[in-house]
Amino acid sequence: MRLALVLASLVAAAFGQSIEIGAPSPGTTVSAGSNITISVFKPNSLTGSTEVGLVLALNPCRNNTCYAPTEVLGNVLYSGAWQPDYSQPAGALPPHQNFTVQVPEGLESGPAVLSASHMVLIGAGPAPDMECVNITVNVA
């Protein structure tokens, strides 16, 4: 019985509950103290889900080492609810939400990990799922 539940959870997670950072693009240069817009995409899925929350964070790489967001988030830029939706009028983008956040003043220059950590309840059960995705940007 437990094996069936585990397999069902894995199958549900595999059906597109994943998110991605749509903007900025990897390698984009952002300025400390400036506002940036982060677009978080949630591709369509066959499995129903309920969004729980989202955390956007920026962590500078130090001594040529970039830490995974599952280890250290760094500077939290946003923490709270999110409701991905289609653009109006509908376009080519998947459901998404844009967040305008400020890059912290005085953040050291160089590469930094921009991450989106996402918690969602999947399916009728429901089953909890958490994921962290990231890109590297350059801080000027």
pTM of the predicted model as reported, rounded to 2 decimal places: 0.85
In order along its 140 residues, the chain shows pLDDT tens digits of 555 444 444 444 444 568 999 999 999 999 999 999 999 999 887 788 899 999 999 999 998 899 999 999 999 999 999 999 887 776 788 899 999 999 999 999 999 999 999 999 999 889 999 999 999 999 99
Please report, for residues 14, 41, 43, 53, 88, the alpha-carbon distance to residue 97 in angstroms, rounded to integers and kept in the order given. Answer: 22, 7, 12, 12, 12
CB neighbours (10 Å) of residue 42?
24
Domains in the chain (CATH in brackets) are 2-139 (2.60.40.2550)
